[in-house]
Amino acid sequence: QKPGRPRAPGSPVAGPLHAAGPGRLPGSRSRRSRPVSAAPAEGTGGVGRGAGTPGPPGPPGPPRDGAPRHWALRPAQTRPRRGPSPSTPPGPGRSLRPRAAKGGRTATPQNWTLDPAGDWHYRWISLMVLPILYNWVVLILRCCFPEVQEAHAGLWQALDGLSDVLYLLDIAVHLHTGFLEDGILVRDARRTRWRYLGSWSFPWDVVAVLPTELLCLLPGVPRVPGVPAARANRCLRVPRLFEAFDRCETRTGWPNAFRMAKLMLYLLLGIHWHACLYFALSARLGLGADPWVCPSSPRLLRRYLHSFYISTLVLAMVGDTPPAQREEELLFLTAGFLLAVLGFATITGSISTVIVNLSSAGSALYPAAGPVRRYLRARGAGGRLAARVARWHQHLRAQRKPPAEWRVLRHLPRGLRAEVAASVHLAALRRVGLFRGWERGVLRQLVLRLRPQVFGPGEFVCRRGDVGREMYFIREGRLAVLAADGVTQLAVLGAGLYFGEISLINIKGNMAGNRRTANILSIGYSDLFCLGKEDLAEVLAEFPSARAAMEAKGRELLLRMGQLDTGAEAAALAAEAEAERRLRGLEAALEGLQTRAARLLAQLEASALRLALRVRRLEGRLQLRDGAVRDRAGRDGAARADGAAGTAPPQQPAGPQGPTGGQGPTRAQGSTEARDVLRAHRPPTAPGPSEVQGAPRAQEPGSAGGQGGTGMQGPSKAQGPHRAQGPSDVPGAPKAHGSPTVQGPLRARGRIGARGPRGMYGPGGAQAPLRAQGTPMAQAPLRAQGLPRARRQIGTRGPGAMYGPGRAQALRRARGPSGAQRSTGAQDVPGAQGGPRGAGVPRD
């Protein structure tokens, strides 16, 4: 079918083509152009021509040219891209800030969605602290001190307006603040908007900015004294204040100081509110009317400060307030004290937490000197040793060398911990000669295995003869290498060097084995990195060059110290070379074996595939043949029925090819089935050539092998008609049916038809018809050829072998009884009584 030509219904290519495209072959011109026209063209998502053409974003509609929908619905290509994917986590190099559009064709659309953990968002909520605090401080002041409101009405109006603008802007910012979904920042503007609009904070924020003061201007509404009271809803914005404080607390470098400042702010705010309310009550009761109320003073500040002082006495539970006399005063004072209990307890608790935090932060970094001192005292080991311990602790704190930093970092995830440790120690590690040139990533892995240790002056880091368990890299300080006498100084090691490796790496000929070869004494304070034996082995396994460098240096030192047994070293080297050689030989042998095994496996697979294909082909042929046989049998049966009824004279078969001539599906089929039919029809005195030649031809291995299934079926088919007419049938048949001409072949065909090519392959199926024929001899070969065994034969001996024995057996057995059967079977045929018996003889 040519491209573009309409397909005929039911065309074999219709399926694949339909799946691939709208009735066009892949690669045709219209196929390439169609998706572009059908799918909306986009900036980056298109394919083929016009992929880069900007087009209107939107859902892909039905294609204009009537192409099937699946052309247009290709989500990966047709989805409009608006900047970065909303669910794509920002890469390491991508900023979370709103990005300015860049010029040029590759400009990305601006995305003003804020990262809630980002800097811009933090700055914004920090700014929002101002209007919220303004409303919390000033509104109550203006309500309770009317002079304040009246004196600066214009200023308050301006500030109120500014605060409202900021509140509204904050709603806008909220609408454009991303959120995390499955740990990934969602920056899609639509989704962030809907998320905020659907949350409880949206109505809350709206209520907090409603212009409630305008209600006071409505006629009939009683004027709220001092309009500020009508703005009380502005205080509802306090959750944003808490959010800002929380964020600041996690970001600041002085969280404890911040916590203290926050507490003080809450305290002052509480006192401020109490003072305002106290003044309002005093003004209502009459300023200076009794000792409890605020005295009347011409100065506003004086009155406020007096109120603030009284409130501090109440809320700080200091007491010593003027005695309350009126009920209102008593109630107010009692409420104040109750609040004070609550507030004071909270504040005291918070302050103590801050103090504990402060001290625990120090103790987490530095080991506490107290317990060691007490331990030494308890054990009676004070004196100079205790002084040294104290000096060591002092050195750590003074020099800010926390040895227990790993304890602090242990809560971090491994990757982050490696980053932190690398940022702190990488510079020091790079100074170590061994690590020079190592990649940063490797050093980052190494730094997690290193443990910082600080040794004081006069301390031995290791002693000669000790078993080596770790090696050291010198970060800071000087250390002396002392000989066996503990006095002779062999060398002085400084920052960037390492020691303690000889006893860890197995240097050939090292007479010390895994024991230290020298004493190492810290001259002053030494800041070292310690690396354990296992960790070192892992590192060296990855870096053979580092191992070689270490071994070379260790060998040189051992030689200098006279601790290298060169004879043993040579022997070890020779043994190693020999082992290496043998290993290589084994490896080569193994490789050869593997290659052979792979080749054999490939051969096995190929032959299995071949055989499977052949079996399938044979099955197909058998099915075809069986169908043809059934057709022919039906036709012949009808013809014979006609003959028996006397409506038509007996017909001579069509030549030596049998009734079907050369049109049968297979030659064997023609020879076996046609032969049977011929035999049934042929007068007994005129045996046709096919009677004599047909059967042997069907039994010839060549003819059977050439036609696949015939070989399999040949014997049983050869037996089929004969055994059907076999000894047991012979006497019964004519008696039962009165018309033996019809009866014999018909019965035979019925059996053949019942057997079927599939039944042939199944063990039961193969045996059933034959068993029904009462020929145990015939069952044996077929049973032997049941599918599983037949398959096994295919696998092991090949198709020839499969057909060989089974077929030979079957034929052999078939020949034995079938001769007799044929002769007896011929008795079924009316014309065959007498002379025709000989027709079967030559075949045997």
Q: In whole angstroms, how close is the CB of 509 to ligand CMP at the nearest point?
A: 14
User: Which residue, 262 or 555, has its beta carbon nearer to ligand CMP?
Assistant: 555
Each residue 189-228 as x (binds ligand CMP by CB under 6 A) or -, in order, gives ----------------------------------------
**Cβ atoms 454, 481 nearer than 8 A:** no
Residue 504 CB, nearest approach to ligand CMP (Å): 6
Q: Give the footprint of ligand CMP on residues 514-533 (CB under 6 A).
A: 516-518, 520
Per-residue interface string for the shown chain with ligand CMP, residues 488-507, x marking contact by CB under 6 A: --xx-------xxxxx----
Q: Which stretch binds ligand CMP (CB under 6 A): 292-300, 389-397, 553-561, 633-641?
A: 553-561
**Please, what is the minimum distance in Å from the beta carbon of residue 472 to ligand CMP?**
9
State the minimum distance, in angstroms, from the CB of residue 506 to ligand CMP: 12
CB under 8 Å to 150, separation ≥6 — which residues? none
**By C-beta, is 351 or 561 nearer to ligand CMP?**
561
From CA 64, how far away is CA 15, in angstroms rounded? Answer: 23
Q: Whole-number minimum distance, CB 543 to ligand CMP, in Å?
A: 18
Interatomic CA distance for residues 115 and 96, integer angstroms: 6
Q: Which of residues 560-579 bind ligand CMP (CB under 6 A)?
A: 560-561
Nearest residue (CB) to ligand CMP, 327 versus 485: 485
The least distance separating ligand CMP from the CB of residue 482, rounded to whole angstroms, comes to 9
* Number of amino acids touching ligand CMP (CB under 6 A): 17
Q: Of 398, 400, 394, 446, nearest to 425 (Cα)?
A: 446
Which part of the chain contacts ligand CMP (CB under 6 A), choosing from 164-172, 180-188, 556-564, 674-682?
Answer: 556-564
Token pair for 249? 């607390």
| Helix H or strand E encompassing 266 | helix 255-285
Closer to ligand CMP by CB, 291 or 513: give it.
513
- The Cα 682–Cα 810 span in angstroms is 27
Q: Is the dihedral of CA 256, 261, 266, 267 positive or negative?
A: positive
CB 126 within 8 A of CB 245: no
Rounded to the nearest whole angstrom, what is the least distance from the CB of residue 531 to ligand CMP in the complex? Answer: 12
| 713, 759 Cβ separation under 8 angstroms | no
Strand partners for 44: none
Burial 794-825 (b: 16+ CB within 10 A, else e): beeeebeebbbebbebbbebbbebbeebbbbb
Q: Which is nearer to ligand CMP, 84 or 500 (CB)?
A: 500
The helix (H) or strand (E) run that includes residue 492 is: strand 489-493
**Given the complex with ligand CMP, which of 429 and 557 has the nearer CB atom?**
557
Check if the beta carbon of residue 127 is closer than 8 Å to that of residue 121: no
CB of 517 to ligand CMP, least distance (A): 4
Return the number of other C-beta atoms located less than 10 Å from residue 39's C-beta.
Answer: 23
Please answer whether residues 271 and 315 qualify as being in contact, where contact means their C-beta atoms are separated by less than 8 angstroms.
Answer: yes
Say if residue 766 is exposed, middle or buried (CB neighbours under 10 Å; 0-12, 13-18, 19+).
buried
Q: How far is it, in rounded angstroms, from Cα 406 to Cα 715? A: 86
Show the site string, 406-445: x = touches ligand CMP by CB under 6 A, - = not.
----------------------------------------
CB of 568 to ligand CMP, least distance (A): 17
Q: Nearer to ligand CMP by C-beta: 166 or 481?
A: 481
> Among residues 148, 528, 557, 826, which is the contact residue for ligand CMP, using CB under 6 A?
557
Smallest gap from residue 538 Cβ to ligand CMP (A):
18
Instruction: Supply the minimum distance, in Å, between the C-beta of residue 541 and ligand CMP.
Output: 19
Near ligand CMP by CB under 6 A: residue from 38, 67, 128, 481: 481
* C-alpha neighbours within 13 Å on the C-beta side of residue 406: 10
Give 186 or 520: the residue with its C-beta nearer to ligand CMP. Answer: 520
If one asks whether residue 405 binds ligand CMP (CB under 6 A), the answer comes out as no
Q: How far is the CB of 356 from ligand CMP (least distance, A)?
A: 44
CA pair distance 612, 120, nearest whole angstrom: 69
Cβ burial of 736 (10 Å; 0-12, 13-18, 19+) is exposed
List helix spans (H) across 432-484: 440-447
Distances (CA, A) of 537 to 1, 449, 461, 511, 562: 69, 12, 21, 20, 26
Considering the complex, state which of residue 486 and residue 696 has its C-beta at the smaller distance from ligand CMP: 486
Residue found by looking up tokens 């001539």 in the block:
661
Tell which one of 450, 462, 507, 742 touches ligand CMP (CB under 6 A). Answer: 462
Q: How far apart are CA 120 and CA 800, in angstroms?
A: 83
| Stretch of 383-391, 538-546, 554-562, 643-651 contacting ligand CMP, by CB under 6 A | 554-562
Separation between Cα atoms, residue 245 and residue 247, nearest integer Å = 5
- By C-beta, is 556 or 578 nearer to ligand CMP? 556
Nearer to ligand CMP, 471 or 782 (CB): 471
Q: How far is the CB of 561 from ligand CMP (least distance, A)?
A: 6
Amino acid at 380: G
Determine the 3-state secondary structure of 494 from DSSP: coil
**Contact positions vs ligand CMP (CB under 6 A):** 462, 468, 481, 490-491, 499-503, 516-518, 520, 557, 560-561
